[in-house]
Amino acid sequence: MRFDLTDLRLFLLVAERGSITHGAELAGLALASASARIKGMEERLGAPLLERRRRGVVPTAAGQALLHHARAVQNQIEAMAGDLRAYAGGLRARVRLMANTAATAELLRDILPAFLVAHPGIDIDLDERPSHEIAEAVASGAADLGIAATWAGLSHLEQKPFFIDRLVVIVARNWPGLAGRHSASLADMLGESFVGLSLGHALQEHINRQAARLGRHLHIRIRVPGLDNVCRLVAQGAGIAIVPESAARRSARTLRSLRLSDDWATRQLNLCARSFDELTPQAKLLAAALAGAGTGGLPGRYQGNGPSS
Protein backbone atom coordinates (compact mmCIF):
# COMPACT_ATOMS: atom_id res chain seq x y z
CA MET A 1 0.00 0.00 0.00
CA ARG A 2 1.63 3.24 -1.19
CA PHE A 3 0.29 6.80 -1.21
CA ASP A 4 2.36 9.59 -2.75
CA LEU A 5 2.58 13.13 -1.37
CA THR A 6 0.05 14.46 -3.88
CA ASP A 7 -2.46 11.82 -2.72
CA LEU A 8 -1.93 12.72 0.94
CA ARG A 9 -2.19 16.46 0.35
CA LEU A 10 -5.35 16.01 -1.74
CA PHE A 11 -6.98 13.81 0.90
CA LEU A 12 -6.04 16.30 3.64
CA LEU A 13 -7.64 19.20 1.73
CA VAL A 14 -10.77 17.21 0.85
CA ALA A 15 -11.26 16.03 4.44
CA GLU A 16 -10.72 19.49 5.94
CA ARG A 17 -13.01 21.22 3.43
CA GLY A 18 -15.65 18.48 3.40
CA SER A 19 -15.76 18.61 -0.38
CA ILE A 20 -13.93 16.79 -3.17
CA THR A 21 -14.55 19.76 -5.47
CA HIS A 22 -13.04 22.32 -3.09
CA GLY A 23 -10.19 20.00 -2.19
CA ALA A 24 -9.37 19.48 -5.86
CA GLU A 25 -9.35 23.24 -6.50
CA LEU A 26 -6.96 23.89 -3.61
CA ALA A 27 -4.71 21.02 -4.71
CA GLY A 28 -4.62 22.38 -8.28
CA LEU A 29 -6.21 19.24 -9.73
CA ALA A 30 -9.14 18.68 -12.06
CA LEU A 31 -12.17 17.20 -10.32
CA ALA A 32 -12.01 14.02 -12.39
CA SER A 33 -8.34 13.56 -11.55
CA ALA A 34 -8.95 14.17 -7.85
CA SER A 35 -11.85 11.71 -7.77
CA ALA A 36 -9.73 9.08 -9.53
CA ARG A 37 -6.89 9.56 -7.05
CA ILE A 38 -9.18 9.13 -4.06
CA LYS A 39 -10.80 6.07 -5.63
CA GLY A 40 -7.34 4.62 -6.23
CA MET A 41 -6.37 5.23 -2.59
CA GLU A 42 -9.51 3.43 -1.42
CA GLU A 43 -8.84 0.51 -3.76
CA ARG A 44 -5.24 0.16 -2.55
CA LEU A 45 -6.40 0.29 1.06
CA GLY A 46 -9.37 -1.99 0.48
CA ALA A 47 -11.71 0.23 2.51
CA PRO A 48 -13.63 3.49 1.92
CA LEU A 49 -11.89 6.64 3.15
CA LEU A 50 -14.78 9.05 2.66
CA GLU A 51 -18.49 8.83 3.34
CA ARG A 52 -20.45 10.65 0.65
CA ARG A 53 -23.32 12.76 1.98
CA ARG A 54 -25.75 15.22 0.42
CA ARG A 55 -23.75 18.25 1.52
CA GLY A 56 -20.26 16.89 0.99
CA VAL A 57 -17.99 14.19 2.38
CA VAL A 58 -16.72 13.19 5.83
CA PRO A 59 -13.85 10.82 6.65
CA THR A 60 -14.71 7.26 7.64
CA ALA A 61 -12.90 5.60 10.55
CA ALA A 62 -10.15 4.58 8.12
CA GLY A 63 -10.17 8.11 6.72
CA GLN A 64 -9.70 9.59 10.19
CA ALA A 65 -6.65 7.39 10.71
CA LEU A 66 -5.20 8.45 7.36
CA LEU A 67 -6.00 12.10 8.11
CA HIS A 68 -3.93 11.91 11.30
CA HIS A 69 -0.92 10.60 9.41
CA ALA A 70 -1.40 12.96 6.46
CA ARG A 71 -1.24 15.93 8.84
CA ALA A 72 1.91 14.56 10.44
CA VAL A 73 3.53 14.16 7.02
CA GLN A 74 2.50 17.70 6.01
CA ASN A 75 3.96 19.11 9.22
CA GLN A 76 7.21 17.25 8.62
CA ILE A 77 7.45 18.62 5.08
CA GLU A 78 6.91 22.16 6.34
CA ALA A 79 9.52 21.67 9.06
CA MET A 80 11.93 20.37 6.44
CA ALA A 81 11.24 23.42 4.29
CA GLY A 82 12.17 25.66 7.19
CA ASP A 83 15.36 23.76 8.00
CA LEU A 84 16.51 23.76 4.37
CA ARG A 85 15.51 27.30 3.48
CA ALA A 86 19.02 28.62 3.85
CA TYR A 87 20.19 26.03 1.30
CA ALA A 88 17.22 25.88 -1.08
CA GLY A 89 15.88 29.32 -1.74
CA GLY A 90 13.15 28.07 -4.06
CA LEU A 91 11.44 25.95 -1.40
CA ARG A 92 8.24 27.47 -0.04
CA ALA A 93 6.30 26.87 3.17
CA ARG A 94 2.68 27.46 4.15
CA VAL A 95 1.18 28.32 7.56
CA ARG A 96 -2.44 27.45 8.37
CA LEU A 97 -4.12 30.20 10.37
CA MET A 98 -7.73 30.32 11.57
CA ALA A 99 -9.35 33.40 13.10
CA ASN A 100 -12.80 34.58 14.07
CA THR A 101 -14.56 37.46 12.35
CA ALA A 102 -13.26 40.29 14.51
CA ALA A 103 -9.63 39.21 14.23
CA THR A 104 -9.88 38.62 10.48
CA ALA A 105 -11.66 41.85 9.63
CA GLU A 106 -10.01 44.30 11.98
CA LEU A 107 -6.46 43.31 12.86
CA LEU A 108 -5.21 40.68 10.47
CA ARG A 109 -5.69 42.73 7.37
CA ASP A 110 -3.22 45.26 8.79
CA ILE A 111 -0.71 42.66 10.05
CA LEU A 112 -0.65 40.09 7.28
CA PRO A 113 0.25 42.35 4.33
CA ALA A 114 3.37 43.54 6.12
CA PHE A 115 4.26 39.97 7.14
CA LEU A 116 3.88 38.62 3.60
CA VAL A 117 6.05 41.40 2.19
CA ALA A 118 8.73 40.78 4.82
CA HIS A 119 8.65 36.97 4.28
CA PRO A 120 8.19 36.27 0.54
CA GLY A 121 8.89 32.54 1.03
CA ILE A 122 5.98 32.00 3.43
CA ASP A 123 2.39 31.53 2.27
CA ILE A 124 -0.62 31.70 4.58
CA ASP A 125 -3.94 29.85 4.49
CA LEU A 126 -6.29 32.19 6.38
CA ASP A 127 -9.64 30.62 7.21
CA GLU A 128 -12.42 32.45 9.06
CA ARG A 129 -14.26 30.15 11.48
CA PRO A 130 -16.28 30.35 14.72
CA SER A 131 -14.15 30.22 17.84
CA HIS A 132 -15.21 26.71 18.89
CA GLU A 133 -14.22 25.33 15.48
CA ILE A 134 -10.87 27.11 15.70
CA ALA A 135 -10.14 25.49 19.07
CA GLU A 136 -10.94 22.05 17.64
CA ALA A 137 -8.87 22.63 14.50
CA VAL A 138 -5.77 23.76 16.39
CA ALA A 139 -6.07 20.87 18.85
CA SER A 140 -6.38 18.32 16.03
CA GLY A 141 -3.56 19.79 13.96
CA ALA A 142 -5.83 21.05 11.15
CA ALA A 143 -4.50 24.57 11.86
CA ASP A 144 -1.08 25.68 13.05
CA LEU A 145 -2.34 28.82 14.78
CA GLY A 146 -5.72 30.17 15.81
CA ILE A 147 -7.19 33.39 17.14
CA ALA A 148 -10.33 32.59 19.13
CA ALA A 149 -12.46 33.77 22.02
CA THR A 150 -11.57 32.26 25.37
CA TRP A 151 -15.16 31.08 25.90
CA ALA A 152 -14.54 28.41 23.25
CA GLY A 153 -12.46 26.38 25.71
CA LEU A 154 -8.78 26.93 24.98
CA SER A 155 -7.38 25.54 28.24
CA HIS A 156 -5.87 22.52 26.45
CA LEU A 157 -3.90 24.84 24.15
CA GLU A 158 -1.02 27.24 24.72
CA GLN A 159 -2.29 30.83 24.57
CA LYS A 160 -1.12 34.41 24.30
CA PRO A 161 -3.45 37.41 24.81
CA PHE A 162 -4.33 39.07 21.53
CA PHE A 163 -7.04 41.69 22.00
CA ILE A 164 -10.48 42.37 23.43
CA ASP A 165 -13.32 42.25 20.93
CA ARG A 166 -16.37 44.37 21.75
CA LEU A 167 -19.63 44.07 19.85
CA VAL A 168 -21.99 47.02 19.44
CA VAL A 169 -25.39 47.68 17.90
CA ILE A 170 -25.51 49.94 14.85
CA VAL A 171 -28.60 51.77 13.56
CA ALA A 172 -29.23 54.46 10.96
CA ARG A 173 -29.20 57.96 12.44
CA ASN A 174 -32.92 58.32 11.64
CA TRP A 175 -33.89 54.76 12.69
CA PRO A 176 -37.17 55.00 14.66
CA GLY A 177 -36.46 52.09 16.99
CA LEU A 178 -34.18 52.36 20.03
CA ALA A 179 -34.39 56.14 19.86
CA GLY A 180 -32.71 57.97 22.70
CA ARG A 181 -30.91 54.88 23.99
CA HIS A 182 -27.16 54.56 24.50
CA SER A 183 -27.15 50.83 25.25
CA ALA A 184 -29.34 47.80 24.65
CA SER A 185 -29.34 44.06 25.23
CA LEU A 186 -30.11 41.48 22.57
CA ALA A 187 -33.43 40.80 24.28
CA ASP A 188 -34.36 44.47 23.78
CA MET A 189 -33.83 44.14 20.02
CA LEU A 190 -35.55 40.88 19.15
CA GLY A 191 -38.50 42.74 17.66
CA GLU A 192 -36.27 44.70 15.27
CA SER A 193 -35.32 43.86 11.68
CA PHE A 194 -31.67 42.91 11.18
CA VAL A 195 -29.10 43.11 8.43
CA GLY A 196 -27.10 39.89 8.79
CA LEU A 197 -23.89 38.38 7.51
CA SER A 198 -23.87 35.46 5.08
CA LEU A 199 -24.95 32.00 6.21
CA GLY A 200 -22.17 30.23 8.06
CA HIS A 201 -20.36 33.45 8.87
CA ALA A 202 -18.55 33.07 12.20
CA LEU A 203 -19.87 36.24 13.84
CA GLN A 204 -23.42 35.72 12.62
CA GLU A 205 -23.46 32.17 13.95
CA HIS A 206 -22.30 33.48 17.33
CA ILE A 207 -25.13 36.05 17.44
CA ASN A 208 -27.69 33.47 16.29
CA ARG A 209 -26.67 31.13 19.11
CA GLN A 210 -27.23 33.89 21.67
CA ALA A 211 -30.72 34.54 20.28
CA ALA A 212 -31.46 30.81 20.43
CA ARG A 213 -30.51 30.80 24.12
CA LEU A 214 -33.29 33.34 24.61
CA GLY A 215 -35.69 31.03 22.78
CA ARG A 216 -36.00 33.38 19.80
CA HIS A 217 -34.79 33.86 16.25
CA LEU A 218 -33.59 37.07 14.64
CA HIS A 219 -35.68 38.56 11.86
CA ILE A 220 -32.98 38.97 9.22
CA ARG A 221 -34.22 40.92 6.21
CA ILE A 222 -31.07 40.43 4.15
CA ARG A 223 -27.73 38.63 4.46
CA VAL A 224 -24.65 40.15 2.86
CA PRO A 225 -20.95 39.25 2.73
CA GLY A 226 -18.63 41.45 4.76
CA LEU A 227 -18.97 43.95 7.58
CA ASP A 228 -18.58 46.96 5.30
CA ASN A 229 -21.68 45.87 3.35
CA VAL A 230 -23.61 45.40 6.61
CA CYS A 231 -22.71 48.93 7.75
CA ARG A 232 -23.65 50.38 4.37
CA LEU A 233 -27.13 48.80 4.37
CA VAL A 234 -27.78 49.77 8.00
CA ALA A 235 -26.83 53.37 7.23
CA GLN A 236 -29.43 53.35 4.45
CA GLY A 237 -32.15 52.14 6.82
CA ALA A 238 -32.45 48.48 5.81
CA GLY A 239 -32.33 47.32 9.44
CA ILE A 240 -30.06 47.20 12.47
CA ALA A 241 -26.99 45.01 13.03
CA ILE A 242 -24.48 43.80 15.60
CA VAL A 243 -20.86 44.31 14.55
CA PRO A 244 -17.40 44.71 16.12
CA GLU A 245 -16.89 48.17 17.58
CA SER A 246 -14.04 48.97 15.21
CA ALA A 247 -16.28 48.32 12.18
CA ALA A 248 -18.87 50.71 13.63
CA ARG A 249 -16.17 53.31 14.25
CA ARG A 250 -15.20 53.32 10.57
CA SER A 251 -18.78 54.26 9.64
CA ALA A 252 -19.41 56.65 12.55
CA ARG A 253 -20.42 59.52 10.25
CA THR A 254 -23.42 57.65 8.87
CA LEU A 255 -24.41 55.42 11.79
CA ARG A 256 -25.39 55.60 15.42
CA SER A 257 -23.80 53.05 17.78
CA LEU A 258 -25.25 51.64 20.98
CA ARG A 259 -23.36 49.66 23.57
CA LEU A 260 -24.42 46.00 23.59
CA SER A 261 -24.88 45.29 27.30
CA ASP A 262 -24.86 41.47 27.25
CA ASP A 263 -21.83 39.85 28.89
CA TRP A 264 -21.07 37.80 25.76
CA ALA A 265 -20.62 41.01 23.76
CA THR A 266 -17.17 41.55 25.29
CA ARG A 267 -14.76 38.75 24.40
CA GLN A 268 -11.10 38.16 25.11
CA LEU A 269 -9.42 36.83 21.98
CA ASN A 270 -6.23 34.79 22.34
CA LEU A 271 -3.62 33.54 19.93
CA CYS A 272 -3.36 29.78 20.43
CA ALA A 273 -1.31 26.78 19.33
CA ARG A 274 -0.83 23.22 20.51
CA SER A 275 2.77 24.16 21.36
CA PHE A 276 4.45 27.38 20.29
CA ASP A 277 7.87 25.74 20.70
CA GLU A 278 6.96 22.89 18.35
CA LEU A 279 5.68 25.07 15.50
CA THR A 280 7.50 25.05 12.18
CA PRO A 281 10.01 27.91 11.80
CA GLN A 282 7.59 29.74 9.50
CA ALA A 283 4.67 29.38 11.90
CA LYS A 284 6.90 30.66 14.72
CA LEU A 285 7.64 33.79 12.67
CA LEU A 286 3.92 34.40 12.11
CA ALA A 287 3.11 33.73 15.77
CA ALA A 288 5.72 36.28 16.81
CA ALA A 289 4.26 38.86 14.41
CA LEU A 290 0.73 38.27 15.66
CA ALA A 291 1.75 38.32 19.33
CA GLY A 292 3.67 41.53 18.75
CA ALA A 293 0.68 43.18 17.12
CA GLY A 294 -1.79 42.07 19.80
CA THR A 295 -2.94 45.02 21.86
CA GLY A 296 -4.83 43.33 24.66
CA GLY A 297 -7.71 45.66 23.91
CA LEU A 298 -9.10 48.03 21.31
CA PRO A 299 -9.48 51.74 22.01
CA GLY A 300 -12.97 53.13 22.07
CA ARG A 301 -15.68 54.62 24.17
CA TYR A 302 -17.30 51.29 25.07
CA GLN A 303 -15.40 49.47 27.80
CA GLY A 304 -17.78 46.57 28.35
CA ASN A 305 -19.57 45.62 31.52
CA GLY A 306 -18.92 41.90 31.87
CA PRO A 307 -16.39 39.13 31.40
CA SER A 308 -16.10 36.99 28.33
CA SER A 309 -18.70 34.26 28.41
- Go through the domains of the chain in sequence order and give each one's CATH number: 3-82 (1.10.10.10), 90-161+265-293 (3.40.190.10), 165-264 (3.40.190.10)
Confidence of residue 54 (pLDDT cuts 50, 70, 90): confident
Confidence of residue 168 (pLDDT cuts 50, 70, 90): very high
Confidence of residue 295 (pLDDT cuts 50, 70, 90): low
pLDDT of residue 106: 63
Residue 38 CB partners (closer than 8 Å, separation 6+): 10, 11, 14, 20, 49, 50
pLDDT at residue 3 tops 70: yes
Mean pLDDT, to the nearest integer, of 20-41?
Answer: 91
Confidence of residue 300 (pLDDT cuts 50, 70, 90): very low
* 148-151 contacts, C-beta under 8 A, 24 or more apart: 148/98, 148/99, 148/100, 148/269, 148/270, 148/272, 149/100, 149/267, 149/268, 149/269, 149/270, 149/308, 150/267, 150/268, 150/269, 150/270, 150/308, 151/264, 151/267, 151/308, 151/309
Mean pLDDT, to the nearest integer, of 219-235?
Answer: 94
Percentage of the chain modeled with pLDDT above 90 = 48
Which pLDDT tens digit goes with each residue over 56-115? 899 999 989 998 888 888 877 777 766 666 555 555 688 999 998 888 876 667 789 999
pLDDT of residue 192: 92
End-to-end CA distance of the chain: 48
pLDDT at residue 117 tops 50: yes
pLDDT of residue 151: 82
pLDDT at residue 229 tops 70: yes
Q: Residue 241 in 3-state DSSP?
A: strand
Please tell me the least confidently modeled range out of 218-222, 239-243, 274-278, 296-300.
296-300
Chain mean pLDDT for the chain: 85
Which pLDDT tens digit goes with each residue over 235-266? 999 999 999 988 888 888 889 999 999 998 99
pLDDT of residue 301: 29
What pairs with residue 242 in β-bridges?
Answer: 169
Q: Residue 114 in 3-state DSSP?
A: helix
